[in-house]
Amino acid sequence: MSLTRLSIDAFRNIQSAQLLPGPGLNLIYGQNGSGKTSILEAIYFLGMGRSFRSHLAQRVINQDADKLTLFAQLKLESGDSKLGLRRFRNGDTEVRIDGERVKRLSELAEALPIQVITPESFALLFEGPKARRQFIDWGAFHSSPQFHQAWMASRRILKQRNQLLRNGAPYQQIRFWDQELVRYALEVTEIRNQYVHSLNDVLKGIIGEFLPEVDIRVSFTRGWDSKSELAELLEAQYPRDLATGHTVNGPHKADLRLRVGTLPVQDALSRGQLKLLVCALRIAQGKLLKQQIDKHSIYLVDDLPSELDAQHRQQLLQQLLDTGAQLFVTAIEPAAIVDLLPAPPDRMFHVEQGRVTQIE
């Protein structure tokens, strides 16, 4: 799977741009602030319905416009597909797949699986369990048709339970919701656990290439005491939950643990090593997707040379190329990437003040 055409209108400082990407490595270069990262962000927005740089979607709309428009043509094994997204300043979003209007952004995510490696990717290791849970859930969503429905149900029930707790409801009133929560929580947890187990098999080889001198262990924690049944725990912790106004333990507290010996990787590795670890996680996730459902991810890699020496940049590029997936890589100077490649990039694009030019 690859993008064969990309149209961007009124997205950040890009007034209008038309790109015809190649199926392999697409190198996007330009000075800081030129708009090269905005191209990656636009692809991500088209696949996820949100930005990886800001939680406020209105901020990505060009200041002189009332809406942004993104369009892509995909080359698939089964033929071509077209995706379109329009986001209005009032918050309304219109999404179309092959001309048909769709209501759920999850349909975009299913159609366009994306892996992102950016400076913000460090959130996976530094900003608490939420980012790591999202990482697990991305893989679980793509690998299991049952996951999304069970995940949505558990979130909806948890929201209802927390509202009852804030209202001071007696446990007899909450018991029904706990039974439903347990049902969906166990399904979500089993799929998550299976996914992390499968990911580990792929991840070990990549980490061995990037960080051969470090023994990194990756494990899944389900969000409650492994020795306790969730139903019993929810009832036992009711007084505590009532006092805090929210559910303390459950699938919403699941996490991905990464350790070197007894230390969290954040305390044991250098910043450069941590960047390689994040890259390994993203590459492994894309490779596993290909193994499980025979679909490539699209990789968005922003500022690849940052904080890596030439040897590790080359290792990372080779691992990315070995996936066989379509790559979009940004750099300030093209030589920082081109000089490390065994062959020229499929396409090169120069970005200056929001204007995109393909370099022949």
The answer on whether 130 is annotated among ligand-binding residues is no
Cα–Cα distance measured from residue 157 to residue 210, given in angstroms and rounded to the nearest whole number: 42
The identity of residue 15, as a single letter, is: Q
Torsions phi, psi for 38 (to 5 deg): -65, -30
Half-sphere exposure of 217 (CA within 13 A, CB side): 9
Is 54 within any annotated ligand binding site?
Answer: no
33 is in an annotated binding site: yes
Maximum distance among all Cα pairs of the chain, rounded to whole angstroms: 70
Contact 52, 75 (CB under 8 A): no
CA neighbor of 175 nearest in space, from 185, 166, 167, 164: 164
Query: b/e map of 226-258 (b: 16 or more CB within 10 Å)?
Result: eeeebbebbeebbeebbeeeebebbbbebbbeb
Question: Any binding-site annotation on 37?
Answer: yes
30 is in an annotated binding site: yes
Task: Find out whether 36 is annotated in a ligand binding site.
Answer: yes
Q: How far is CA 159 from CA 144, 177, 246, in A?
A: 24, 10, 9
Tokens of 100: 């048909």
**Which residues are part of a known binding site for ATP?**
30-37
**Which residues are part of a known binding site?**
30-37
